[in-house]
Each structure stands twice: as structure tokens, then as C-alpha cells.
Amino acid sequence: MANQHLFLGIDCGTQGTKAIILDAVSGQVIGQGAAPHTLISGANGRREQDTHEWTEAFCLATRRALLAANVDGQDILGIGVSGQQHGLVLLDHQGQVLRPAKLWCDTESTPQNERLLAHLGGEEGSLERLGIVIAPGYTVSKLLWTKEQHPQIFARIARILLPHDYLNYWLTGRSCSEYGDASGTGYFNVRTRQWDLQLLRDIDPTGRLQAALPELIDAHEAVGTVLGSIAERLGINPKATVSSGGGDNMMGAIGTGNIKPGAITMSLGSSGTVYAYADQPKVSKDASVATFCSSTGGWLPLICTMNLTNATGVIRELFDLTIEQFNEQIAQAPIGADGICMLPFLNGERVPALPHATGSLLGLTMTNLTQANLCRAVVEGTTFGLRYGLDLLRHNGLKSLRICLIGGGSKSPVWRQMVADIMNTPVICTEQSEAAALGAAIQAAWCTSWATGHEDSLADLCERCVKLDLASETLPIAANVAAFEQAYERYQRHVATL
């Protein structure tokens, strides 16, 4: 077994934690494990999680992956952590978590975001100053919300961390952040790659917030090695290196080989994302395009929709269908769902920018109101949101020769065909659908290689470890493309009325 170079990749998402064991020499994923999280929800837009659940799930998923791989945890050379972006984890001076983490999909701090955006001079002022437009869900408004709603907790803040930063802190005892995930905080300048300290001083003139910031490190740098007590809990080598890690989109880019211009990754997860690599911070004039940094030294212009498999899941559960039955229903209904259009904005929406929107069903008649049409309408509606975002990226000069599809929804052949037709672009999946966990493991191998002076570049590792599933390749069908174009125009008309 000595010739294996084993790395652990972790993806801590909204719904659960996934772990994979990667052999970086053969490029094979040799074991996987998962464990679920629960969500704290409120009708006011509250979406929070108890960080204790993340660490428990981390241990459980890791042990399951090691068992599946049938390897000794002492052979793990490095760990990479991918985390859901924008979340806020607050620690006190003892390193204890002060309250549940507010998540990317939390909209409770929308009023604070609106005031901060006005303070920055609106969308234009925010773009000019930060290179992004702060949106509800970004970390910065969560800080102002905490100050206003929980002043006693705010007074005890000693560290401000993102979810993946927190897991790195739990693993190593070191508080740091890397540029990719930091880009989504709203107090980071994506052009200069530095914290915007003045914005934090505006929220709290005492300087407490800037003192609580983690130090910034490069994507190829290691955070440190695993603490002995944690290594024991995980059942892994205490000398294992912990890489910088990053946000789930940044790690998904690595896990799909999206590390040079020309590739587009589309993720069909709880939320939908579309992103492409850029070697310059060419900031789009459109507020919906977030020009984040990548976790590979470049940039990652990205759009995110708030409603994807969370919306399709609601309809599927409403009719008590398995995923197979749901896909059969979609296939039975015609393109355009017989005139039914669903605007699936159940969580508010970021792209199109409608934070206060709710979901709606339009075009219902006595004859078209069927289960199959409703199932189809929700999948079409969520996919049209991604088309809207892809068009924004294309207007920004990004070329898309092929879309690499990841996330739970990518496993559905019906949905893949729909994406190919609606985007009028060939679609292919990676063999490893857990692209963020794979990207985290590849980044850990890159970090370890960098530290030991070996010659494995990130491109070498991606070449070896990212495998395309040729059987999944799906080409657009001309007749479908034309039919979807009409349905998409109808969707845009409905959105315009909001």
C-alpha cells in the first residue's frame, strides 16, 4: 500500500457532509462516506445550523469512507475541506462557538444588507469598491444583524469564520481563510485580494471585527497538521496536512478540472450555480455576476440561484414520488409543460435578483393541471433560472464550448437533456458526482506536493483525477432547442412582471 498517496476530501454542505478517499497516484476515488445535517428554519427566512452537527458528520463520513476504501487511516497524507459559502461562524476567546451558524440561504438579514448596500453607494458603489455586489446571504449583513439582534453575543466575538474556515480551525487550531471563500463575505476586495477593514469599522468602530478576522493564505498553502485529539477521533494520521480548502464552488471547479478558460461548470444542488475560470478579475457590470477569486490563483465569475433541488424536492415530496417516478412524470409531459410555468422562487431568489419573491404557478387550465406537467414545470423553471445566469456570463465574454454538470440533479438523464437543450450546449458529467469533495482532495494533494517540493502541478493532478463519464454526454436536439426557446421567453415575460 506504500505507493498509494491517499488524501481525504470533505464537502460540508447544507444537507450533509460527504467524504471521499482519493488515491492521487492512480487518480481513483477508492472510498466514500456521508452523514446528514439538519436545518434550523424560520418563516422569517432564518436558515441556520449547529456547527456541532458538522464536526459529528465530519467524523462519521470520514470513518465510513475509510471503511469503504478498506485502508488504514494512518496512510492519509492530507485533508482538504470544501464548505458551503457565505455562512457565519462566531467564536469567543476560548474558541467556543457563540451561536448557530447563519447559512448562505438565510434571508433574515435582508434589511441589514439593504442598508449596507446603500452605505456602499448602491450596486455601482459596491462593484467599484469590492468587485462584487453584496447580496442577502453574504456574510457581512449577518454581522450587522448579530450586532442589532444579539448585542451580548456580538460583544464576545473573538473570531469570525466561514464554515470551511471553522472546520480547518477545528482540525488544526489555526484561524485562516483563503481568497476564494473570502470573496463571498462582502468585506473582501476581489481585485486586490484583501479584507475591506473600513467596512467592518463602519459596522463596529471599536475595531473588534477587524481584530477577529482570520489571516489570508494562498490556495496552495497548508493550514497546518491535524491536532492529535482530532486525528484520533477521525481515525487518521496525526501528521496529515490540512490544505487551505475553500468554498464549495471553488472546490467544485477543481473537481471538474475547471482551472483554465473555456470550461463551464454547472451544479444542480440545493442551489444552482454556474461558473467559469478567468485569469483576470474582469468584473461584470451586472450585479448578479459574482467575480469571486478561485482557489487556484485566478478568478471564478459565478452566478447562483437560490432554488434548485430544494424546489424540485418539494414538488416530488408533495406527490410522494421516488426520484425514478419523478423523472418518469417529467418525461411524460411535453416541453413547456402544456403552458404551465413555475417561478420556483420558494426561497426568494438571487438570479434573477428577486430577494422578496415567492414561488408561483402560472398558466393553469382545466386540462393542463396534471401531476406530470407540475413535475416538469418545476424542473423547467429552475433550469430557466440557470439559463438566465449563463446568458449573463456569456454577455461578460465567457465562452462555453461544453458544460460540465455536477450535483444531485446531474444524475437524471431527463434533466441532463433538458440542460443541453435549454442552454443549447453539449453537457457531460464527471465520473465523480461529488465534485467539491474531489476538488478538496485534489487541492490537498497539490498542497502536499507543493510543501514537499515534488513536481505535481494542479493541472497534472486534475488530468489524472478528474475523469469524464463519456456515457453521460448529452447533445442538444435542434427541435427541443427551438421549443424550449419559446418556453424560456414565456418564463422571462413572467419574471418581468415581478
C-alpha cell at 195: 479584507
Identify whether 20 is part of a domain.
yes
Hey, which residues does 18 pair with through a beta bridge? 11, 34
Q: What is the pLDDT of residues 430-469, one digit of tens each?
A: 999 899 999 999 999 999 998 888 778 999 999 999 999 9
What is the mean predicted confidence (pLDDT) over 486-494? 98
253: nearest Cα among 188, 302, 305: 302
pLDDT band at 371 (very low <50, low <70, confident <90, very high): very high
pLDDT given for residue 399 in this prediction: 82
Which phi and psi angles does 243 have, rounded to 5°?
-80, 175
Q: How far apart are CA 431 and CA 433, in angstroms?
A: 6
- Under 8 Å between Cβ of 89 and 54: no
pLDDT given for residue 96 in this prediction: 98
Identify whether 421 is part of a domain.
no
How much of the chain exceeds pLDDT 70, in percent?
A: 99
What's the mean per-residue pLDDT of the chain?
Answer: 95
Q: How far apart are CA 78 and CA 82, in angstroms?
A: 14
- Give the distance from CA 175 to its chain's centroid: 21
Query: Would you tell me how many other CB atoms lie within 10 Å of the CB of residue 129?
Result: 16
Q: What is the pLDDT of residues 217-247, one digit of tens each?
A: 999 999 999 999 999 999 999 999 999 999 9
Hey, which residues does 83 pair with through a beta bridge? 12, 247
Identify whether 117 is part of a domain.
yes
7: nearest Cα among 405, 305, 448: 448
CA 105, 139, 128, 397 torsion: positive or negative?
Answer: negative
Element (H, E) at 361: strand 360-362
pLDDT given for residue 3 in this prediction: 59
pLDDT band at 348 (very low <50, low <70, confident <90, very high): confident
User: Does the pLDDT value for residue 2 go beyond 70?
Assistant: no
- Under 8 Å between Cβ of 126 and 118: no
β-strand 272-276 against 341-343: which pairing, if any?
Answer: unpaired
Place of cell 403552458: 339
Local structure of 214: helix, strand or coil: coil
C-alpha cell at 75: 496512510
pLDDT given for residue 103 in this prediction: 97
Q: Residue 193 — left, alpha, or beta (φ > 0 → left; ψ -120 to 50 → alpha)?
A: left
User: Does the pLDDT value for residue 75 go beyond 60?
Assistant: yes
Q: How far apart are CA 359 and CA 303, in angstroms?
A: 20
Parent domain of 152: 6-248
pLDDT band at 1 (very low <50, low <70, confident <90, very high): very low
Identify whether 244 is part of a domain.
yes
Q: What is the pLDDT of residues 470-482, one digit of tens each?
A: 999 999 999 999 9
Identify whether 55 is part of a domain.
yes
β-strand 468-474 against 427-430: which pairing, if any?
Answer: antiparallel
Identify whether 277 is part of a domain.
no
353: nearest Cα among 271, 286, 275: 286
**Residue 46 sits in a domain of what CATH number?**
3.30.420.40
What is the mean predicted confidence (pLDDT) over 184-191? 97
Segment among 12-16, 306-310, 397-401 with least mean pLDDT: 397-401
Q: pTM to 2 decimals?
A: 0.92
What is the mean predicted confidence (pLDDT) over 303-319? 95
What is the mean predicted confidence (pLDDT) over 113-136? 96
Catalytic residue list contains 248? yes
pLDDT band at 55 (very low <50, low <70, confident <90, very high): very high
3-state helix, strand, coil in the chain (%, to 5): 40, 25, 35
Q: How many domains does the chain have?
A: 1
Identify whether 356 is part of a domain.
no
Q: How far apart are CA 465 and CA 5, in angstroms?
A: 12
Q: How far apart are CA 484 and CA 429, in angstroms?
A: 22
Q: Which one is catalytic: 106, 181, 248, 338?
A: 248
Q: How far apart are CA 95 and CA 311, in angstroms?
A: 37
Identify whether 194 is part of a domain.
yes
How much of the chain exceeds pLDDT 90, in percent?
A: 89
What is the mean predicted confidence (pLDDT) over 90-116? 96
